[in-house]
Amino acid sequence: MLKVVLVDPSIGRIAFNLGLTFLILAIMPLFVIRMDSPEFVVDVIAIVILVVFLIVVSWDVRRQVKREYMKEGI
């Protein structure tokens, strides 16, 4: 059976900020890399992975905050 591990939302915020920083750094070279180069493909794959990571982190933090509010009865 899977065990659910709750992570503090502040760690989620740090993960989100790091992911956003890496996303910005991955978008910047798109303006100078040629579309037919292998670097372009790797950069696009990295951007897709980072976007998925940001979506998962956002979803998880929102789920945890909602669970805490429901537990407290607010």
Q: What is the pLDDT of residues 14-54, one digit of tens each?
A: 999 999 999 999 999 999 999 999 999 999 999 999 999 99
Confidence of residue 4 (pLDDT cuts 50, 70, 90): low
Q: What are 47's two structure tokens?
A: 């951007």
Distance spanning both ends of the chain, measured CA to CA: 30
Question: Can you give the pLDDT at residue 62?
Answer: 85
Say which residues have a Cβ less than 8 Å from residue 63's Cβ, sequence separation at least 6. none
